Amino acid sequence: MPAPKSLMAPAEKWWRHAVIYQIYPRSFADGNGDGIGDIPGIINRLPHIAGLGIDAIWVSPFYTSPQKDAGYDVADFCDIDPIFGTLADAEKLIDTAHELGLRIIVDIVPNHSSSQHEWFQQALAAPPGSPERARYMFREGRGENAELPPNNWESVFGGSAWTRVTEKDGSAGQWYLHLFDSSQPDFNWENLEVWEFFRGVLRFWLDRGVDGFRVDVAHGLVKLEGLPDAVATDQPAVGNVGPQWNQPGVHEIYRDWRKVLDEYGDDRVMCAEAWVFPLSDMARYVRSDEMDQAFNFAYMATKWDANALRRVIVESLEAFDSVGAPSTWVLSNHDVVRHASRYGIDATTKAQPTGFGPTSAHKPDEVWGLAVARAATTVMLALPGSAYLYQGEELGLPEVIGIPDNKRQDPTFFRTSGERYGRDGCRVPIPWVKDATAFGFNDSGKTWLPQPSSFGPLSRDQQEGTEGSTLELYKKLLALRSSLRLGTGAVEWLPGYGDSIVAFTNCGIAVIANAGDAEVALPDGELLISSAPLSGHSLPPNTTAWVKLAD
Ligand code: GLC
Ligand code: CA
């Protein structure tokens, strides 16, 4: 039994309490004006982000890719797509981040490649049963003429998870598995060649100085033996469940990767994207000989409800602590409705599973949503462990709802014939300067998704130095979190507050969040910050405050 991480790793390990800011390259900053963000754009704007007071950046995929899934369809894992720049640009980005005092984590996508990857092209050209096909999940179809897919699995983006190929002689041939888009064939992790290949990818980026990896779809790589049908259920699934997800064999892969990272010292990290519940199951990904962090999606999915929040905080701390790992906290990323809009949906309304659009039945209340989002972030940044931020949330950006159908890009929208709007609304290029072309995203005015005029007043230049702005709130929260060392502390519940209040202490401050509908008195002490103005020493609804308790 390896020693638990809490003994092995001193609390000072940077990632245990780091605030990590996600950059989504397509939408961050566009250096050459083609409408798509790129690495030179990131390098140019990175000092603004360093100035927020974060510890690290995570950069979503910038690899060679036909961009059928915004770069999560990788055609070459060891090169940069020309739309984002060159390998030299990526190396410069790594150096620039380090010069600014930031660590840098890159995305790795091991569940699938792009169908344009040379291995998949070779597999298509090779016959059934060949070593080329054995790198992916090819199977014979069912039915008299193999005209039915090998099983009933569905793609996460909608439709069947199988696509049939045409063999060289023109006949309808085998089927290949894709848990996502048909342009994203799943690798066969039963094949040791795939293992060796990914060790090489890890080393390629570690050699270039990256501090770690965010591991895409970490719970999908290994499928249940025999690929049995998924059992249909009327219950809405919480997380990904079924024979295609969270199989015990995935852990062997991360134990292997751990050894590769450890060749580079003891501070390179892996963070799992694993949509696995309950949290005790998610915690298995961060056992001492596997990864370091896992995105806390249970926390992200929790509504602004004091009981639910207290429960998920306790459950998170217990689950991760039981394996010696820190908890992470996250409210937004490039796959979910931005939290400033998510909280604007009535708690009793069932939101669309992914995304909003012009015809969605329920639209978020943006004023309410932003107030709750600021209060929720003020809770999150007081919690011990590591927190992830998604570009634009520090500006309080809402989900963009009005994207016309003919401008949408997410494969989810197309694979469900528009039934699910998908994720474009959280991926719109972010605003830097109100009175500039494309709000300063570039100087050509082209943007791969249209920006709404409501982004103008939310632009960074409007919020910088502006009392009460969401940007100034984030900066102050981050500065306090760091000086008070909240990331290394511990939660103790404060008694005496009602059911609708979340109240705890950490490192000598009281954190009080009001999820009810009446004002509540704050404890005695010095008010350090609040997510909205207070009335005297009382906390209004949908507001969170930090109070330094008198000794
Ligand atoms: C992850 C990514 C998502 C992508 C999917 C397939 O969930 O976060 O953006 O579409 O994997 O790679
Ligand atoms: Ca560009």
Convert the pLDDT of each residue in 145-163 to its tens digit. 999 999 999 999 999 999 9
Neighbours of 13 (CB within 10 A): 16
Q: Is the pLDDT of residue 1 over 60?
A: no
CA 127 – ligand 2 centroid, Å: 40
Q: Is the pLDDT of residue 268 over 90?
A: yes
Q: Compute CA distances 100 → 48, 56, 340, 394, whole Å.
A: 10, 10, 29, 19
For the stretch 179-210, pLDDT in tens is 999 999 999 999 999 999 999 999 999 999 99
DSSP assignment letter at 225:
T
Ligand 1 proximity of 180 Cβ (cutoff 6 Å): yes
How far, in whole angstroms, is CA 116 from its chain's centroid? Answer: 25
Ligand 1 proximity of 72 Cβ (cutoff 6 Å): yes
Q: Which of 72, 117, 221 is the pocket-test mutation for ligand 1 (most atoms within 8 Å of CB)? A: 72
- Residue 354 confidence (pLDDT): 80
pTM of the model: 0.97
- Residue 8 confidence (pLDDT): 46
How would residue 6 be classed by pLDDT, with cut points 50, 70 and 90? Answer: very low
510/493 Cα distance (integer angstroms)? 9
- Residue 10 confidence (pLDDT): 56
Residue from 57, 82, 66, 71 nearest 109 by CA: 71
Q: Compute CA distances 115 → 82, 97, 108, 214, whole Å.
A: 18, 32, 17, 22
216 is catalytic: yes
More confident residue, 359 or 389: 389
How would residue 3 be classed by pLDDT, with cut points 50, 70 and 90? Answer: very low
Q: Which of 216, 336, 412, 415 is the pocket-test mutation for ligand 1 (most atoms within 8 Å of CB)? A: 216
- Residue 346 confidence (pLDDT): 75
- Residue 4 confidence (pLDDT): 45
Ligand 1 proximity of 109 Cβ (cutoff 6 Å): yes
In this structure, are residues 83 and 67 in contact, taking their beta carbons and an 8 Å threshold? yes
Across the strands, what pairs with 535? 538
> How high does pLDDT run on average in the chain?
95
263 is catalytic: yes
Share of the chain above pLDDT 70, in %: 96
Query: For residue 278, is the peptide bond before it cis, meaning its omega torsion is within 30 degrees of 0?
Result: yes
Q: What is the mean pLDDT of residues 232-240?
A: 74
- Residue 352 confidence (pLDDT): 58
Determine the residue type at 291. M
DSSP assignment letter at 89:
H
Q: Is the pLDDT of residue 549 over 50?
A: yes
Q: What is the mean pLDDT of residues 372-395?
A: 98
Catalytic residue of the set 263, 318, 346, 443? 263
Catalytic residue of the set 38, 216, 292, 410? 216
In this structure, are residues 397 and 458 in contact, taking their beta carbons and an 8 Å threshold? yes
Ligand 1 proximity of 217 Cβ (cutoff 6 Å): yes
For the stretch 336-370, pLDDT in tens is 999 999 999 876 676 656 889 998 888 899 999 99
Q: Is the pLDDT of residue 401 over 50?
A: yes
Q: Is the pLDDT of residue 466 over 80?
A: yes
